[in-house]
Amino acid sequence: MALKRIRFVQRRKALGYTQESLAETLGVDRTTIVRWERGESQPLPWVRKPLAAALDVSLAELDDLICEIVPATLDNPPPGGATVATGVDEGGDPTDRRTFTIGAALTALGIVGPAREALAATEVPRSIGLEQVQLAASLVERLRAADAVVGANQLCDVAIGVHHRLSTLADHSSYGREVAEALQTALADLANEVGWLTIDAERRAESRRYLHEAISRARVVDDPRQELLALVSLSLLTKEKTPKESLQCAEAAQRVSAGWATPRLRTLLHLRAAQAYAQQRDEVAFGRELSKALTQFDRGSHADDLPFLGFVTEREVGTSQALAYLTLGRPDRATTLFQGIVSAPVTPGYERNDVRDRVLLAEATRRQGDVVEAAEIAYAALPTVVGLQSRRTAARLGQVRTGLGRERTRSPKVRAFVEEYDRATREPVR
């Protein structure tokens, strides 16, 4: 489905900009503006301030323009769409920093007709049935599928809006016992999806709130799989800043899944524990957990594997291992692993991971001391990262830029990457 940021385009035209003139003002290619307007990518953090200035809007208003993506066949957002406040501050309390039209977002995901009206309506029905809950729950799979195409950056607010709507129904509508249980399960699943999307979009303060909610709701309906999923995401969320908590989450996930975990699930949980030990510089424990992960992975997939485990491939195992070695100060080992990873075929449906791995290879190569090779790898990855909908990967490339910018070298290749990165992002990283 062709998508378009209608209000973004309307704002550009209202100020007299063509795509070419706006691109010239910002110092980017016209194709970059085209990708923004089609919803294929969004401005990186470093270009948002000058873009907001060019469009004469605040950063919050720019976020509104960016978040709203609708089918290109529509000249305006669908009528009747409800506006939902989203976002949380560091303390976890709701704020009104972002709004978006749920109706437009649902239409962009292919949700039309009565289904869209039920989820986008502003009024709260007196009672709801199982069909309405199942409809909202079915959106999780659509969101996961869209994540691979559109990216987490733009899907966050869509997922939060649907979660908000379902929470409102849970709080204010009447329903029977069967619907009550289905509501809790659906809200746990939606909270887990929001938790993951906000991690990938680098909106981490929001992630913790939703993941803890997923755990609470999962326990209410005794759904260990939803609790497990939240713990896995929490382990990833806390890995770098609080590795002890990350380890505790991985161990808790192992306890929750004891008796029914498949080899692929055990692989993932041991990898999470191994990464947490690496962050704590405990090489012995890291080696032990890594060995367990590799043993479990060799046992292969299973018919009972949970759907989200599709990403636990040989490539993902290698990436986790290489990242841990990078954390442990062994960039030579990490570089060797990443070189093998990026030369392997890309797993269908996880193409974005290939970009991430190439950026990580650039960082490992830089830390190993080969700054010229690192610059070449980073330069080649830059155009794709700019158009990618993952702020995590964009942030990693920013770290590569920072490291290379500090190198005292006269290499033309290093200078070329630094200059192109700064041109693409408009704001040099210091």
Cα-Cα-Cα-Cα dihedral sign, residues 128, 130, 132, 136: positive
Calculate mean pLDDT across residues 181-194: 93
User: Average pLDDT, stretch 158-163?
Assistant: 83
Strands 70-71 and 94-101, by their bridges, are unpaired
Phi, psi (rounded to 5 degrees) for 300: 85, 180
Provide the pLDDT for residue 230: 97
Q: Strand pairing partners for 127?
A: 174
What is the structure's pLDDT at 114?
65
**What's the mean pLDDT when you consider all of the chain?**
83
Domains and CATH numbers, the chain: 1-76 (1.10.260.40), 82-237 (no CATH), 323-330+339-430 (no CATH)
Q: How far, CA to CA in Å, does 111 sit from each of 114, 149, 392? A: 9, 17, 28
What predicted TM-score, i.e. pTM, was given to this entire model? 0.72
pLDDT (tens digit per residue) in 51-104: 988 888 888 788 777 765 544 433 333 333 344 444 433 333 333 333 345 666
Q: Which residues pair with 101 in a beta bridge?
A: 83
CA angle 371, 427, 50 (to 5 degrees): 155
pLDDT in tens, 331-377: 999 999 999 999 988 777 677 788 899 999 999 999 999 999 999 99
CA dihedral 97, 101, 105, 111 (to 10 degrees): 140
